[in-house]
Structure 1
Amino acid sequence: MSKIKTIFIIIISSMIHTITAQNKSIHAKINTDMYENFSKAYKTLDFDLFASIHSKDMIRISGDGGQIKDVKTYLKRYQKRWSDSNRKPSPIDFRLFERVYSDSLVSDRGIYRVTYSDDKNQTKYSYGQFHVVLRLENGLWKILLDYDSNENKSINKERYELAFPLSEYKKYWKH
């Protein structure tokens, strides 16, 4: 093999490695800014953290409830709910089946699962399908549009398991 071919292969390999590392970093940042913080807020009932991941321009659409809310109305409901001292945390987990992103916007579609404990400490789950649009604001990914629905109660454990864990971005990322 000539020196030029060897150098070319090294350069191409280096470029591929760099691009792969950049992609992994971008997806990790999106997942941390949005999903990890969202989940942490739910688990700890941290309203300030929850509010911080929403854009001041956010629109919330509840497919099941047939309602569209602005960010202030939507967040006020959470603030009231989470300020109840008897409220138990309800962990939420996310899985994705599609991500499309640009340098300043992300469109994610997936399934979430909320875990509840009833008064008898029995665990129950609630599932929903969501579509969020995130916008990069001051270096952080924030929710600009949030739509969810249980699709006439057809979203369940099986549908949740069919979506991909957040760490497997190569499976849900459309590029």
Structure 2
Amino acid sequence: MLKTKYVISYFTFLFLTFYSHGQEELFHQKINQDMYGNFSEAFKHLDYPLFASIHSKEMIRISGNGGEIKKGQDYLNGYQKRWSNPKTTISLISFKLLERITSDTLVSDRGIYRGSYTNDKNETKFFYGKFHVLLRLENNTWKILVDYDSDEKGTINKQSYDAAFSLSDYQKYWKIKD
């Protein structure tokens, strides 16, 4: 009888552990798709409506390189104008994370992005930056509330990007509140 209790306790522990891990993974996958998946898709297809949809109506944009703070709509208007130009070159963008701090309705992500485009000579060119976004859960979708980025005076590069963590590696960048 005592052995049966241990076996039941052991399997209950395993079930709860795997269930909890599965819930964590789904939580991070949702954030990553709502934010980074949609952001990358918007850039790839010059899809302004998709790009606009991932930003909160109250969004604030901070450009470390440009030294300016913009209201979200002013920032979005720039992309709408740029992407509606038929001569606009498509840029691809990908993200890696350094840190994620979460609550039920807010996420703070810091990371490195890599953008690429093909120039007139058919050469692929890369650009890098460090970002910090604050996301807010709005109608069950994670949206950008604050967006800051900078190339830190040209010091963010391929090595910075390679040293950051893949979006799927949330156990390495997620700061769990003890």
CA distances 1:87-141 after superposition (whole Å, capped 9, x unpaired): 1210000000111111100000000011011111111111000000000000000
CA distance in 1, matches of 2:88, 2:36: 22
CA distance in 1, matches of 2:169, 2:18: 17
The structural deviation recorded for 1:43 is 0.4
Equivalent position SS for 2:146 = strand
Per the alignment, residue 54 of structure 1 pairs with 55
CA distance in 1, matches of 2:57, 2:9: 48
Per the alignment, residue 39 of structure 1 pairs with 40
CA distance in 2, matches of 1:48, 1:124: 26
CA distance in 2, matches of 1:162, 1:27: 20
Per the alignment, residue 29 of structure 1 pairs with 30
Question: Could you list the runs of 5+ residues in structure 2 that have no partner in the other structure?
Answer: none
Per the alignment, residue 169 of structure 1 pairs with 170
1:7 aligns with 2:8: yes
CA distance in 1, matches of 2:42, 2:20: 32
1:128 aligns with 2:121: no
CA distance in 2, matches of 1:27, 1:138: 17
Equivalent position SS for 1:24 = helix
Identical pairs, percent: 55
Q: Which amino acid aligns with 1:63?
A: G
The structural deviation recorded for 1:156 is 0.2
TM-score, scaled to structure 1: 0.98
Per the alignment, residue 72 of structure 2 pairs with 71
Per the alignment, residue 109 of structure 2 pairs with 108
Q: Which amino acid aligns with 2:120?
A: D
Q: Which amino acid aligns with 2:58?
A: D
Equivalent position SS for 1:106 = strand
> When the two structures are aligned, how many residues end up with a matched partner?
175
Per the alignment, residue 94 of structure 2 pairs with 93
Equivalent position SS for 1:28 = helix
Equivalent position SS for 2:175 = coil
CA distance in 2, matches of 1:9, 1:108: 36
Per the alignment, residue 80 of structure 1 pairs with 81
CA distance in 2, matches of 1:15, 1:165: 26
Question: Could you list the runs of 5+ residues in structure 1 that have no partner in the other structure?
Answer: none
CA distances 1:19-78 after superposition (whole Å, capped 9, x unpaired): 000000000000000000000000000000000000001000001111000111000000
Equivalent position SS for 2:161 = helix
CA distances 1:128-164 after superposition (whole Å, capped 9, x unpaired): 0000000000000000000000011000000100001
CA distance in 2, matches of 1:131, 1:65: 15
CA distance in 1, matches of 2:138, 2:122: 40
